[in-house]
Amino acid sequence: MSKLSINNLSMRFDLPNGSFVQALKDVSLEIESGELMSVLGPSGCGKTTFLNILAGFLSPTEGTVTLNGHAVTGPSAERGMVFQQGALFEWMSVRDNVSFGPRMAGRKKKDYMDNVNHLLDVVGLQDFKDKSVYELSGGMQQRVALARCLANDPDVILMDEPLGALDALTREKMQGLVLKLWKETGKTIILITHSVEEALLLGQRLLVMAPRPGRIHKEYRLPFAAAGVGKDLRVVKRDPEFGEKREEILSMIWDMEEEIMGRTEEAKA
């Protein structure tokens, strides 16, 4: 159904001083419909750049992205995006934010309102639907952002550290919510995170990227996301295999960071 193919993607930022940053180099990947893939990597390895290309906000210097067989050239409603924070429209109520996509598409109110109400129920904001966005807490705002994206019924949902700005407890609850929504809707989700635990918990596939140039370092297929749906995520975390994987990936990222440091020292010397 909605298959996302990424072929030999490279992205190069030319800087004004004549040098350049190779943010991505030769990234190739196939993502099947309904997959939940998390992306990890040290800071600056090109994760956001990767996601922006998938969303269509940037065109790559080389390579192509195709969704369901046609090329991605710009943003579109079939690829929804959830940002870290600050992307809600403060001048609209919670309900108007959630129903933004259908309204822009010109659909009739009675056609989409049921779905919007259902989504507000799912994210637990039915009581807040007439409130302004700025009256909500950070966690509530992220739930609005999730609901807004889902109300538009995209084929692929792209998330750039959607839970990064939340406290640990809220974050855990939201992780459960993401899993639940994934199971319920069967969407293809690509989720960038800085947290190894989150990547393990939520990623059916896990992509570890390496910096300079940004590239795919290693890929895992994990059982935790499928097993975790509807369960207490802390039980999942106590699984010895989970612990093992976490250690493995953490030390992998540490090694990368050290390599970067080493290279910077060399460059100086």
Partner 1 sequence: MIVLAIYIAIFCAAFIVVRFVISKIRVRRDFTSLKTVTFGDESAVRPDRWASFLSVLTLFCLWGAFTGSDWVPFHAPGPFVGDTQFTYTMEAPDGARDDATVHARVFPAGEKGDPQDVAPGDGFAKDDSIALAAWRSDLLLMDKNDEFTRKDGAKVVAIDGQPVSPGSRIEVANGTVAVTSKGSLNFVPDPGMQMEPIWLPSPEAVVARVKEISVRGYQNFTLWEHLYWSLFRVIVGFLCGAIVGIPLGYAMGLSGWFRGWFDPIVEFMRPVPPLALIPLVIIWAGIGESGKIILLFLAALWIMAISARAGVSGVAISKVHAAYSLGASRWQVLRYVIVPNSLPEIFTGARVAMGVCWGTVVAAELVAAEKGAGMMIMVASRFQLTDVVLMGIILIGVIGFSIDILMRKAEDWLVPWKGRT
Ligand X SMILES: Nc1ncnc2c1ncn2[C@@H]1O[C@H](COP(=O)(O)OP(=O)(O)OP(=O)(O)O)[C@@H](O)[C@H]1O
Choose the one of ligand X, Mg ion, partner 1, none that binds residue 87, judging by a C-beta under 5 to 8 angstroms depending on kind.
partner 1
Binds partner 1 by CB under 8 A, chosen from 50, 100, 182, 242:
100
Q: Which amino acid is at 34?
A: G
Q: Is 269 in the site for partner 1 (CB under 8 A)?
A: no
Question: 70 by DSSP, 3-state: which?
Answer: strand
Q: Which stretch binds partner 1 (CB under 8 A): 83-91, 188-196, 229-237, 249-257?
A: 83-91
- Candidates 88, 91, 205, 208; CA nearest to 144 is 88
Query: Which listed option, ligand X, Mg ion, partner 1, none, makes contact with residue 44 (CB within 5 to 8 Å by class)?
Result: ligand X
Least CB distance from residue 223 to Mg ion, whole Å?
27
For Mg ion, the binding residues in 47-106 under the rule CB under 5 A are 48
Residues that bind Mg ion (rule: CB under 5 A) add up to a total of: 1
Which of Mg ion, ligand X, partner 1, none binds 137 (CB below 5-8 Å, type-dependent)?
none
Rounded Cα gap, residues 15 and 158, in angstroms: 27
* CB hemisphere CA count around 40 (13 angstroms): 27
Q: Six-digit token pair at 120?
A: 């507000």
Q: Judged by CB under 8 A, which of 42, 46, 56, 63 binds partner 1?
A: 56
Structure tokens at 133: 């966005």
Beta bridge partners of residue 220, listed in sequence order: 206
